[in-house]
Amino acid sequence: MSSHREAPEISKDPVADNADTYAFVSPDKPNTVTIITNYVPLQAPPGGPNFFEFGDDVLYSIHIDNDGDALPEITYEFRFETSLRNPNTFLYNTGPISSLSDPNWNKRQFYSVTRVEGKKTSVLASGLACPPCNIGPRSTPNYAALGAAAVHTLGGGRVVFAGQRNDPFFVDLGSIFDLGDLRPFQNLHLIPTAAAPGVDATKALNIHTIAIQVPISDLTANGSVPSDVMSPKSVLGIWGAASRRKMRVVDTANDEKAESGPWVQVSRLGNPLFNEVLVPLGRKDRWNASQPVNDKDYAGGVTHPELGKLLPVLYPKVFPNLAALSAPRADLEAILLTGLPAGIVAGFQNNTGKVLADMLRLNVAVPPASDPNPLGLIGGDAAGFPNGRRVADDVVTIELRAIAGVTYPLVDKSYKPDAAASLITQGITPSSSRYLSTFPYVGDPYDGYDTPSS
């Protein structure tokens, strides 16, 4: 899953697990960029009595590189604090929660937003309320109103949200991790089973979202709003991260905990599925702790992806051209590590230069699509992945097709992808109700009482 439990250590620390990062020009406010980072993945909605929350001891960060050096020029930091009204009850809420200040809500979270630019640090807001988790019809009878009330303004057209949402990322986990046994492709697999639609494993699961929407001019190097798609100044590199203090002390005798020392990064994510699929198991934890500027150390997993070698084995005789392809995958390197340079796709580029780094690369001069294609750029929609990433982009299908060779003709026009490469799909079409048309664009979470069984 994009970055859900994708490395051994972070799988044990879900509150710091940066599960997904999204960045796109806001469809309803095209003079702004929306950036979303998700944490605490795979939440079963009935998860009480200790319902899910952000970590008070975690530093959540959104990084923006606007000059192509793979180092952040701008960072937004989020810190959380939990407040308990009544420590003498086991209940999360003692009655229906009708507002963010309702006295029936026992365990609340608040947060601050800080912008860091060079040596300048500005606290944009503090004491902002998260919404509660969606408990059920008696406890949170009008959850949509609670979620809407938790969208806070920061001034100047800037808004922020932090709280529980329905996970927007859709994937057939059961088939992907069964040796790539894609249900729509089962008739081509070693297992002679009839083809079937994909199963959306995250459909009824929740996640915790941090979302911020700011003017494009807040993020560009010269404070402009670029209109030239081919200008390097129009491209931003974006990634999310989570950090913990270097030292943690637990005093069980006095029921106290303390953290000290510098912040140490324990999770990060730019492009979806990067650490999941392209970094070998023995190096995943180290990748999470490293910075994008050092990703040349992991470039071999991109230029010679293991999955590209496995597909011809898992699907015999289906991918003969891919099996014969031994050249380094310059197409994947461009898509994931440098951005696509001018001249590869007509009228488009999102190149950040020669530094190899895993970042979402967003060309802010590309306007939002009036009719978005979930296959993004390979579907003819330059406003979608890998030009940033929208919440409904089918990144699993896109990356599977790319690894299967669909994008290799971008760098070698003589290469003919196998016919099956452009037909690969995980076979999932998520419901439109999973998303919102306005900020924060990800839909209300499922509650624990009415959660569907599948």
Confidence grade of residue 192 (pLDDT, cut at 50, 70, 90): confident
pLDDT tens by residue, 221-251 = 999 999 999 999 999 999 999 999 998 887 7
Give which of 290, 248, 256 is closest to 270, Cα–Cα. 290
What is the pLDDT, as a whole number, of residue 417? 97
CA distance 192 to 402: 25
What is the pLDDT, as a whole number, of residue 178? 87
* pLDDT over 80 at 176, yes or no: yes
pTM, entire model? 0.96
- Mean pLDDT along residues 389-409: 97
pLDDT tens by residue, 417-449 = 999 999 999 999 999 889 999 999 999 999 999
* pLDDT over 60 at 1, yes or no: no
Whether residue 84 contacts residue 106, with contact meaning beta carbons closer than 8 Å, is answered with yes
Average pLDDT along the chain: 95
CA distance 64 to 451: 37
What is the pLDDT, as a whole number, of residue 325? 95
- Mean pLDDT along residues 48-72: 97
Which residues 6+ apart lie within 8 Å of 92 measured at CB?
48, 49, 50, 51, 105, 106, 107, 132, 133, 135, 139
Give which of 274, 294, 304, 311 is closest to 421, Cα–Cα. 311
What is the pLDDT, as a whole number, of residue 2? 62
* pLDDT over 70 at 47, yes or no: yes
Confidence grade of residue 453 (pLDDT, cut at 50, 70, 90): low
